[in-house]
Amino acid sequence: MNRAEEDYIKSIYELTVERKQPLIKSNELTDRLGFTDQSVNEMIKKLVQKHLVNFIPYKGISLTKKGKDVAIRMVRAHRIWEVFLTEKLGFSWENVHDAAEQLEHATTNDVLLKLYQYLGEPKFCQHGNPIPDFSGHALEVATTSLIETKPGDRFILMRVLDHKELLTYLNEQSIVLYQEFEVIEKDVFNGILVIKIQETIKNLTLKTASMLFGKIMKT
């Protein structure tokens, strides 16, 4: 299997987990990967021939057992390398994606198992994505977005999208995982969400809010 194929498999897996739906539409994959419909359709055909993907016309695509095994291996490798790069080598969270992307394709199962144990079997990467253990089990991924909150809600930040510009912006705003936000105001017309972190007020755009995930606390 080549690198492009592995990346497709991984994206299908991530979309399935994030959206909690059994089938992914090919246009969702096009959006995620930024490729044309034609190249996505060709790749899906190839992956079906290799028994990695099931395709149901007009319904969508899903991974076969074989495809899912490949995806879990890639996702695990990517996230374990991210933990290593940040915790042991001092990289910050916006700078680990590319290196982890290279390393995940070059890591044998033996190396990965040793690395995982060396790191103390971490449950999440620095962006809050769950790391599947070696039997394939992972803790649940946070899928409630900050944009779904309403004034008065308290929200714990548990996952952020791994986008360099977003992560750099969050650094500037001193926003980190596991902080608690209080939602003060939601101005849909102007696209602004006002939140309070400890005693500091921050105005986020709804676009930023849609990239932050966590848990709404019950009051």
Residues that bind Zn ion (CB under 5 A): 82, 125, 127, 129
Minimum CB separation of residue 182 from Zn ion in Å reads: 26
Distances (CA, A) of 35 to 27, 126, 131, 145, 190: 10, 27, 27, 26, 31
Residue 41 CB, nearest distance to Zn ion (Å)? 29
Nearer to Zn ion, 107 or 129 (CB): 129
Q: Give min distance, CB of 125 to Zn ion, in A.
A: 4
19 vs 51 by CB, closer to Zn ion: 19
CB of 186 to Zn ion, least distance (A): 28
Shortest approach of Zn ion to residue 112 CB, angstroms? 15
Nearer to Zn ion, 104 or 153 (CB): 104
Q: Are 116 and 162 in contact (CB under 8 A)?
A: no
Q: Would you say 94 and 171 are in contact if contact means Cβ atoms under 8 Å apart?
A: yes
Instruction: Classify 27 as helix, strand or coil.
Output: helix
Residue 63 is encoded by which pair of tokens? 């991974």
Q: 62 φ, ψ to 5°?
A: -145, 165
Type and span of the H or E element at 144: strand 144-145
10 or 127, CB closer to Zn ion?
Answer: 127
**Dihedral sign computed on CA atoms, order 108, 98, 78, 10:** negative
Q: Tell me whether residue 125 or residue 204 sits nearer to Zn ion (CB atom).
A: 125
